Chains A and B, each alone.
Chain A
Amino acid sequence: DQQVKQNSPSLSVQEGRISILNCDYTNSMFDYFLWYKKYPAEGPTFLISISSIKDKNEDGRFTVFLNKSAKHLSLHIVPSQPGDSAVYFCAADTNTGNQFYFGTGTSLTVIP
């Protein structure tokens, strides 16, 4: 029962262009969403989060958008850089905080 889904296993983007990573969820009880970046053989690194009371949060080159009615969130990276090449996971949390539900990840490749 995959409650958080990332339907694109991979994405390639030219350096300097926008990367858009998408995530869908099914559980309406989710009220906090996060994006993590992961390099091989390392732990996930927190990127950005958003509460369900907001529809946008921005931090430098990273912006997360939340569409609660569609149960959809996206991560925008502008401009994309080769160092952004990694696997990106979205995650969701309920107010009980018992676990983060992770998507299966999207492997982003930024081409120089």
Chain B
Amino acid sequence: NAGVMQNPRHLVRRRGQEARLRCSPMKGHSHVYWYRQLPEEGLKFMVYLQKENIIDESGMPKERFSAEFPKEGPSILRIQQVVRGDSAAYFCASRGQLNTEAFFGQGTRLTVV
């Protein structure tokens, strides 16, 4: 019964590079959420996906950020042309159905240098 798995745990990118963050939800979970935590701030919603569908991306920046949850494989959060302001902890959560708890991964700490 593995929990939500995120990798890598730490990611360093130079400005202008691409960052790919992966999230494997808990077995049997089809709802995936991505959150971002900036230093000294709370958790900010980014995107909610189900298999092959983006349900709500109202928290995603309009440019450079994209997310997917393919039929096979992990969910991917992709950040193109990273800037220093993208440095944050990115958390993925999954749940099996609505009105139940979501379980979080350990997060990916992105540092843009």
Binding site for B on A (CB under 8 A): 31-32, 34, 36, 41-46, 49, 51, 89, 93, 95-105
Contact = CB atoms under 8 A, between A and B. Distances in A.
B55 A98 contact: yes
Interface of B: 4, 6, 31, 33, 35, 41-45, 48, 55-56, 58-59, 91, 93, 98-107, 109
A34 B103 CA distance: 11
A41 B33 CA distance: 19
Given A41-B107, A99-B59, 9 more contacts: A31-B99, A34-B101, A42-B106, A42-B107, A43-B104, A51-B99, A95-B99, A101-B45, A103-B42
Given A31-B99, A89-B43, A97 B31 contact: yes
Contacts of A45: 104
A51 B99 CA distance: 8
A99 B41 CA distance: 18
A32 B31 CA distance: 16
Contacts of B55: 98
Contact of A49 (B31, B101, B104): B101
A89 B100 CA distance: 16
Contacts of B98: 93, 95-97
Contacts of B35: 102
